[in-house]
Amino acid sequence: MKNIYDKIIIGSGSAGSILANRLSEDPNTNILLIEAGNDYSNIESIPENVYYGHRNVSSIASLETDPSNWAYRAESTKNGPEIPIPRGKIIGGSSSINAQILLRGIREDYDRWAEFGNEKWSFDEVLPYFIKLENDLDYPNQPYHGNEGYIKVKRVPEKDWDPLHKAFYESCVENGFPPCEDHNKPDSTGVGALGFNQIDGVRQSTAITYLMDARHRPNLNIKSNCYVNKIILDNNKAIGIEVISESEVFEIYADEIIVSAGAIESPKLLMNSGIGDSKKLSKHGIVTQCELPGVGQNLRDHPMTFITWNSKQNYIAPVNNYSRVAMALRYTSKDSNWTNDMIVYMDSSDDKTTFYPLAPKGIRANLTLNLEESSGEVSLNENDPNLYPKLNYNYLDSENDMNRFVEGVKILEKIGNNKEFQKYADEMILPDTNTRKDDKLLKKWLHGKMVTGHHSSGTCKMGSDPLAVVDQTGSVIGVDKLKIVDASIMPDCIRANTNATVMLMAERIIDLWRE
| Predicted local distance difference test score (pLDDT) of residue 49 | 86
Give the mean model confidence (pLDDT) for residues 38-52: 93
Closest CA to 19 of 28, 251, 10: 10
Lowest-pLDDT range of 11-15, 56-60, 295-299, 452-456: 56-60
Can you tell me the distance from the alpha carbon of 492 to that of 140, in angstroms, rounded to the nearest whole number? 31
Q: How far is CA 98 from the centre of its chain?
A: 8
b vs e for 415-442, b when ≥16 Cβ sit within 10 Å of the residue's Cβ? bbebebbeebbeebbbbeeebbeeeeeb
State yes or no: pLDDT of 166 exceeds 70: yes
- Helices of type H across 228-322: 262-272, 278-282
State yes or no: pLDDT of 358 exceeds 70: no
Closest CA to 390 of 254, 481, 306, 296: 296
| Predicted local distance difference test score (pLDDT) of residue 2 | 62
| Predicted local distance difference test score (pLDDT) of residue 57 | 47
Can you tell me the distance from the alpha carbon of 386 to that of 460, in angstroms, rounded to the nearest whole number? 19
User: Any idea what DSSP says for residue 392?
Assistant: E
State yes or no: pLDDT of 32 exceeds 90: yes
Can you tell me the distance from the alpha carbon of 482 to that of 233, in angstroms, rounded to the nearest whole number? 10
* pLDDT tens-digit series, residues 285-335: 999 999 999 999 999 999 999 999 998 877 777 777 777 889 999 999 998
Can you tell me the distance from the alpha carbon of 227 to that of 40, in angstroms, rounded to the nearest whole number? 17
The beta strands (E) that lie in 370-459 are given as: 377-379, 390-392, 425-430
Can you tell me the distance from the alpha carbon of 35 to that of 94, in angstroms, rounded to the nearest whole number? 12
| Residues contacting 8, CB < 8 A, separation 6+ | 31, 32, 34, 240, 241, 252, 254, 256, 257, 258
Spatial contact of 299 and 288, defined as CB atoms under 8 Å apart: no
Which phi and psi angles does 147 have, rounded to 5°?
-135, 15
* pLDDT tens-digit series, residues 393-425: 999 999 999 999 999 999 999 999 999 999 999
Percentage of the residues of the chain whose pLDDT score is greater than 70: 95
| Residues contacting 418, CB < 8 A, separation 6+ | 167, 170, 171, 174, 175
Give the mean model confidence (pLDDT) for residues 444-455: 96
State yes or no: pLDDT of 145 exceeds 50: yes
45 membership: H or E segment, kind and range: none
| Residues contacting 446, CB < 8 A, separation 6+ | 305, 396, 402, 405, 406, 409
Compute the radius of gyration of the chain from its Cα atoms.
22
* pLDDT tens-digit series, residues 239-268: 999 999 999 999 999 999 999 999 999 999
| Predicted local distance difference test score (pLDDT) of residue 313 | 79
| Predicted local distance difference test score (pLDDT) of residue 284 | 96
pLDDT band at 55, cuts 50/70/90?
Answer: low
| Residues contacting 213, CB < 8 A, separation 6+ | 21, 150
* pLDDT tens-digit series, residues 61-97: 666 788 999 999 999 999 889 999 999 999 999 999 9
* pLDDT tens-digit series, residues 119-128: 999 999 999 9
Domain count, the chain: 1
| Predicted local distance difference test score (pLDDT) of residue 137 | 98
Burial class (CB in 10 A: 0-12, 13-18, 19+), 47: middle
| Predicted local distance difference test score (pLDDT) of residue 15 | 99
Structural domain including 344 reads: 5-514
**Mean pLDDT of all residues belonging to the chain:** 94
| Predicted local distance difference test score (pLDDT) of residue 321 | 74
| Predicted local distance difference test score (pLDDT) of residue 294 | 99
Terminal Cα distance for the chain, rounded:
31
pLDDT band at 354, cuts 50/70/90?
Answer: very low
The beta strands (E) that lie in 150-265 are given as: 151-155, 190-193, 195-196, 198-199, 202-203, 220-223, 227-233, 238-245, 248-259
* pLDDT tens-digit series, residues 178-235: 999 999 999 999 999 999 999 999 999 999 999 999 999 999 999 999 999 999 999 9
Lowest-pLDDT range of 131-135, 275-279, 384-388, 492-496: 384-388
* pLDDT tens-digit series, residues 476-510: 999 999 999 999 999 999 999 999 999 999 999 99
The sign one gets for the Cα dihedral 145, 150, 155, 159 is positive
Can you tell me the distance from the alpha carbon of 493 to that of 255, in angstroms, rounded to the nearest whole number? 31
3-state class of 186 per DSSP? coil
Spatial contact of 425 and 417, defined as CB atoms under 8 Å apart: no
The beta strands (E) that lie in 28-127 are given as: 31-34, 72-75, 82-85
Q: What is the pTM of this model?
A: 0.96
Closest CA to 88 of 66, 103, 117: 66
Sheet with 327-331, edge to edge strand ranges: 190-193, 327-331, 342-346, 363-369, 304-311, 425-430
| Predicted local distance difference test score (pLDDT) of residue 44 | 95
Higher pLDDT, 443 or 320: 443
Instruction: Tell me if the bond preceding 398 is cis, omega within 30° of 0.
Output: no
CATH of residue 222? 3.50.50.60
User: Any idea what DSSP says for residue 480?
Assistant: B
